[in-house]
Amino acid sequence: MQCKSFIKREYLRLIALGGIIVFVLFPLLSLVVNIKGKDLAFVFSDENFYLSLFNSIRYTFISSVIATLLALFSAYLLDASSLKHKNFYVTVLTFGMLVPTLSIGLGIRVMFGTNGFLDTIFGLKVDGIGYLGLILGSIISSFPSTFLILYDALRYEDKGPYDAANIMGISRLSTFFHLTLPYLKVALVSAFFASFTWIFSDYGIPMELAGKAKTLPMYLYNEVLSSFQYGRGAIAGLFLLVPSIVSFLFDLAFKDNSSAEKQKKLVKPSKSFNWVTIAVLCLVAVLLFLPQLSFVFLTFIKSYPNDMTLSLINIRNMFFGTYGLGIGQYVINSVLLAILTGAIGTSFAYFLGYLAVRKSGRLAKVVNLLSVSTIAIPGIVLGIGFMFLFKSTNGIFYGTIAILVAVNVFHFLGTPFLLAKNCLTKINRDYEIIGDTLGISRFKILKSVLIPNSYSTLIEMFSYYFLNSMITISAVAFLCTYSNQPLAILINSYEKSSNYEMQGAISVTILCINVLFRVLFNFLKSTLRKNERKESENHMTLSRYQFELLTYLEANGKGRYSQRFLSDTLTLSLGTVNKLLKDLHELGYVESNSESELSISDKGLKALEPYRVRKAIILAAGFGSRLAPVTLDTPKPLVTVNGVRIIDTLLDALVNKGITNINIVVGYRKDQFEELKKKYPTLTLIENEEFNTSNNIVSIMKCIDMIDRCYICEADLYITNPDVIRKYEYTTNYLGAKVKETDDWCFKKSNGYVMSYDRGGEDCYQAYGISYWNEEDSEKLKADIKKVYNSRGGKEYLWENVPMKIMKKNYKIEIRSCHKSDIIEIDNFMELVAADPSYRNYPGSEKF
């Protein structure tokens, strides 16, 4: 059994490794194998080869220097600014990633070329085809990825030093040279290499723009596809590999892919800086969008450059026109290819990431290295490798959509692999061990723990594969036959027949499909995030400490609360307060403004809402015999102490906290309570005629169905600290004050909860008649009181004995502690006199 699963596991790993070997290493080997002596002799004496090589190096170098600087500038400005919606700017600046390089080349060609838009419309003669066009196209096409490398690096920079520099009065320019650039050193070189590799091995731009100039990828392309000189192509391919290998080795040695948590900048840049940023980014965006504008425009032109009137004829032609294209078939090819590549590639890359991260040993290292190294292989090289290796399988593999899927899966493997790896690294490493001890298989852990926690990464991986499959031409160009040709390659075919409008129309189609899917992917991701948040909110009962902090902020309003202050006030450790604030900020429950004033947010208020105290039930039916003679004609709650009716102290406190649903059960001298309604119009009086013959359980039975998230209070508490009544309560509790000794009702505490409830005790909490019942306990309480009431002699009970004694097991009642001086208990005439000396000579008092 054990042995079997062991074999199975090894088997899977070997398949994964085998895939890389067959589809990456073998094609590369076949490249070398295909080179013959005479090819070497030919190529190295071929003037064209040298011309192409040197030309390639020259324009690639110039373009990538400019592209890197432009990207650096844009990334720095965007990162340093305090603009909102930065993701929007990133989307705009990387929009070019959604179209094939051929389309970018085409756009520039018809914009700047002879008889181009500028020429025909404005009479501006720019010799676009040739060197300048080549450089411009290369910059535009390599900008997005270069920009992303730098922007990502900047986002993970620790911004603390900038604050320090700002406070020391060091200028922004100086920090740029002394902090930013040194920090970016590695990323800059890496971005330059990425840009260089990209431009060096791309043949889409040169195909449209090189004119008579020669480049190495075109040399390869012509040798292989026009002259069928595979060996010569292979030699060119090896040369194309060189910069990518250098770049790869550099990244391997220096680049740190880990993303640490960064410190956000506190000091915000000035408004003018933001405006400069916007201006610069707009300029860059205009440059980037030029080619796209121009090919969109081109699509709607009758016949470029002869008849520049607007028309929809190209669109019509594309679908059913004289060329008989039947664009539908190619769209299906392309989308099918992209979806298959996405699905298979994502699964494969995720599995490789799993092997590399969640397994140990040499195999994991090999898998890691091999997978990452696929980044170093230019598509054009992998493409001819595939062609050499699989040409003989024509019809079975070669020439089908399968080979295109395969080449794309491996060509684009590197980035999704890194995404998967990054995601899986962040998931706790101990799950497998836990699973082992619990008897849950590795596969089950992968299926029900790891994958559900990687959904958003999986979408990102799929999206990467999809979008790239839609635009790539480099590898697939060598593997297409008539039947499996995707859209992007079609542009290539029309380039050969110089049909510009149709190239434009196809570019637009690709762009539309990509935008559509991009929107879909983003929608999926945001739905995922929203669901998570929603679920959070639904299930989000606040933690105790979160509750305490939020209610404190709610009660005390906006202010500059230091963590130290909060820690002292809420009696929490400083570390706890720090973490609390971080969590609450993340949840969006608290917000702080630029003056670092802290306040509760609307969302925070919403989160508190379930804890809001809904109502109060006040039991005021009793006679209050112990306060005679005062209570002979006035019910105890209505006795005035220092000019205030006792019950008013409670009612004021309730109303003050927004609790206006107040229900008073009255009995003895009930008419006198009507007077209260003048001052408190929202209160309801409920009658209990049996007040004289039974205990207070009868009173509570009168309003039993009202019990729900409410206070239940006695009516004779003279409240001196109105804060014993709170707007929000976390859970069921009973108010009590710690005392050394008492002969009153009191409870003992264990773990913060009421353990026992008795009359008289030492070192206990004296019970004050204010309790709160949460939703769940309210339900229980209703049922339990009814049960006791209906039992024999049920009317003789005190209601509080039901949850506190008789059915104690059903409840967990917290002790909410207050100070003894917060409430003055006036239980007998002497205490009344002590509280209000004016009663000293009350008529009839001498009898008592």
For another protein, the binding residues (CB under 8 A) are 2, 428, 430-431, 433-434, 436-441, 444, 448-449, 452-453, 535-536, 539-541, 543-545, 573, 575-576, 751
Report, in Å, the least distance between residue 429 CB and another protein: 9
- Single-letter amino acid code for the residue at 370: L
Q: Considering beta carbons, is residue 324 or 439 the nearer one to another protein?
A: 439
Q: Which residues pair with 685 in a beta bridge?
A: 664
Closer CB to another protein, residue 529 or residue 560? Answer: 529
The rounded distance, in Å, linking the Cα atoms of 258 and 424 is 12
Name the residue nearer to another protein (CB basis): 439 or 643.
439
Burial letters 793-822, b for 16+ CB under 10 A, else e: ebbebebbbbbbeebbeebebbbbebeeeb
Residue keyed to tokens 């990538």:
64
Cβ 752 to another protein, closest distance in Å? 9
Q: Which residues pair with 750 in a beta bridge?
A: 753
| Minimum distance, C-beta of residue 539 to another protein, in the bound complex (Å) | 6
- Using the minimum distance from each CB to another protein, give the nearer residue, 138 or 567: 567
3-state secondary structure of 328: helix
| Shortest distance in whole angstroms from residue 547 CB to another protein | 12
Tokens 């264990």 belong to residue = 750
Identify which of 713, 739, 737, 709 has the alpha carbon closest to the alpha carbon of residue 725.
713
Task: For 695, list phi and psi in degrees, rounded to 5.
Answer: -95, -175
d(CA 790, CA 331): 77
**Which residues are CB-contacts of 472 (< 8 A; sequence separation ≥ 6)?**
100, 379, 408, 411, 412, 488
Q: How far is the C-alpha of 631 from the C-alpha of 637, rounded, in Å?
A: 9
β-bridge mates for residue 759, sequence order: 745
As measured in angstroms, the least distance from the Cβ of 606 to another protein is 16
Complex with another protein: residue 360 or 498, whichever CB lies closer: 360
Nearer to another protein, 576 or 694 (CB): 576
CB closer to another protein out of 360 and 642 = 360
Q: Is 445:431 a contact under the CB 8 Å cutoff?
A: yes
In contact, 594 and 712? CB cutoff 8 Å: no
Closest to another protein by CB, 606 vs 679, is 606
Q: What CA–CA distance (Å, rounded) separates 595 from 590? A: 14
Euclidean distance between CA atoms 166 and 174, whole angstroms: 11
Tokens 């900047």, located at residue: 154
Question: Does the CA dihedral 347-353-356-359 come out positive or negative?
Answer: negative
Report the phi/psi class of residue 573: left, alpha or beta, with left for phi > 0 and alpha for psi in -120 to 50: beta
Q: Running DSSP on this structure, what letter comes out for residue 541? A: P
C-beta of 573 vs 720, nearer to another protein: 573
Residue 353 C-beta-side C-alpha neighbours within 13 Å: 28
Least separation in angstroms between residue 279's CB and another protein is 42
In the complex, minimum distance from the CB of residue 428 to another protein, in angstroms, rounded to a whole number: 5
d(CA 508, CA 295): 7
Q: How far is the CB of 731 from another protein (least distance, A)?
A: 8
In Å, how far are 7, 151, 174, 276 from 79, measured between CA atoms?
A: 50, 7, 16, 13
Q: What is the spatial distance between Cα 483 and Cα 403, in angstroms, rounded to a whole number?
A: 12
- Pick the closer one to another protein by CB: 178 or 564: 564
Min separation Cβ 735 and another protein, Å? 21
Residue 44 C-beta: closest distance to another protein, Å: 49
Cβ of residue 531: shortest distance to another protein, in angstroms?
A: 12
Q: Is the peptide bond before 305 cis (omega within 30 degrees of 0)?
A: yes
Q: How far is the CB of 364 from another protein (least distance, A)?
A: 16
Is-contact 143 71, C-beta < 8 A?
yes
For residues 347 and 576, which CB has a smaller minimum distance to another protein in the complex?
576
**Residue 397 or 431: which CB sits closer to another protein?**
431
- Distance of closest approach, residue 31 Cβ to another protein, in angstroms: 39
Give the nearer residue to another protein in terms of CB position, either 23 or 589.
589
